[in-house]
Amino acid sequence: MLKAYGVAAAAFAVLAFAGQATAQDAEAGKKVFIKCAVCHGIGDTKKPLGPTLNGVIGRTAGTEPEFAAKAAGYSKAMKEAGAAGLVWDEAAIAEYITDPKKKIPGNKMAFAGLKVEKERLDVIAYIKTFAN
């Protein structure tokens, strides 16, 4: 009986730890977003160098209307990725911001990538708070 309790407690501890390790923290993500904010507007902020990230989750790649209308808007590679069916869910964004040039060769986001998983999860949690 005691032994079984010990196993259950250990399993719970592992689960609790895993939960903590992957929890998304939008507040922390706001600070990570400073790295993106050079180019990307969000909320009421507008930035000329990149598409707004309001509502990006669930949006087809390369289709934010204001940025798409610019002469120096999306790259051919990004538009083609969208045309081929790339929709920005959380997993796709995580993969893209880890290594933008690897996920979409030829795209023009001049960003080396976020190599720390926690920063990716947090920044996505922050972006998620701006649905439109």
31 CB neighbour count, 10 Å cutoff: 13
Q: Report the C-alpha gap between 93 and 117 in whole angstroms.
A: 12
Closest separation between CB of residue 126 and ligand HEC, Å?
A: 9
Residue type at position 120: R
Q: Report the C-alpha gap between 74 and 41 in whole angstroms.
A: 15
Sequence-distant contacts of 95-99: CB under 8 A, at least 24 apart: 97/123
Closest separation between CB of residue 5 and ligand HEC, Å?
A: 44
Q: Which of 110, 117, 129, 131 binds ligand HEC (CB under 6 A)?
A: 110
Does 29 interact with ligand HEC (rule: CB under 6 A)? no
Nearer to ligand HEC, 50 or 121 (CB): 50
Q: x/- site string to ligand HEC, residues 50 to 89, per CB under 6 A?
A: xx----x----xx-x---------xx-xx---------x-
Closest separation between CB of residue 18 and ligand HEC, Å?
A: 24
123, 28 contact by CB (below 8 A):
no
Residues that bind ligand HEC (CB under 6 A): 35-36, 38-40, 49-51, 56, 61-62, 64, 74-75, 77-78, 88, 93, 96-97, 107-111, 114, 123
